[in-house]
A = this chain, B = another copy of it.
């Protein structure tokens, strides 16, 4: 199909599987797909410390199928991929810090699991289209800004390496086995339904929680480092476009925000929109400084030219919607009893 025109209509009655579909971005994709009339199968392991949360599909739980399974488990994948037309492949471990403490688990979840899914497709559903959730982490410390897809892949942590390998597998299966696949290299995604029960899955979600609870936000260094942020609804829209359009096959695309903003300006905006919280600049903890990448923002013009996607949500608006969501549903995202805290 041609770029960007009918991609929403494409999903009516379409059989779509979402790995990691109870997570932050996966569940947002599920909400959009249900609205478009797709037949959605959510696959999620619900591993406690990761991002899966049954509340993320509140409101659509009767219009999706949920299958609890671990994507590392080949026989489950071999069964589940059959007859699917599109797979949005978002299952993964996203903590940089965890990957440096336990690189083997990160290897299993971010490499072996991708081979399980792709081998299942190759053997039992070679005509499916797979859209992989890649990450800007694969670039590491940028050598030039904004970062395009031509920038060298130089991850600075084990998680980034394994995510790069997972992405490359998709491209090789596309080329060699004809399993149509592409990857979206997401920058910092924020919005409703993100894990905020601990601080190991991205700093913006944690900052949002601290602001909500009227705590102090600590900014490392002087807060001048730049990042771009993309609202989760915009990121989900990139997945829908990529899944519907064969011009994405075999390609990687940056999916970034409208414009870069400094950490300090981000936090000031957040505190201002929230009306609660405050911030202070502190010295870098050495173990975080060791894997920090300095300024980073992407050029997303390739996906705009190829698939018609661009971010549309202003940061202030996205933050306001995020804060509203968590204020309404905080008890589903933050442990409130001793037993829930102990379970973490």
Q: Chain B CB within 10 Å — which of A100, A103, A119, A169 has the most?
A: A103
Interfacial residues, chain A to chain B (CB-CB below 8 A): 100, 103-104, 107, 111-112, 115, 119, 150, 152-158, 161-162, 164-165, 168-169, 171-172, 175-176, 290-291
Taken together, the copies of this chain in the complex come to 2
Q: Which residues of B contact A169 (CB under 8 A)?
A: 103, 158, 161
Can you report 8 residue pairs joining A to B where beta carbons are below 8 Å apart? A103-B169, A107-B115, A153-B153, A155-B172, A158-B172, A161-B169, A175-B290, A176-B290
Residue of B nearest to A290 (CB): B176
Is there an interface contact between B115 and A104, defined as CB atoms closer than 8 Å?
Answer: yes
Q: Which residues of B contact A290 (CB under 8 A)?
A: 175-176
User: Which of B111, B175, B176, B291 is in CB contact (< 8 Å) with A107?
Assistant: B111
Residue of B nearest to A151 (CB): B152
User: Which of B107, B115, B119, B175 is in CB contact (< 8 Å) with A112?
Assistant: B107
Query: With A and B bound together, what is the CA distance between A258 and B59 in angstroms?
Result: 66
Q: Determine how close the nearest CB of chain B comes to the CB of A111; give it in whole angstroms.
A: 6
Query: With A and B bound together, what is the CA distance between A150 and B107 in angstroms?
Result: 26
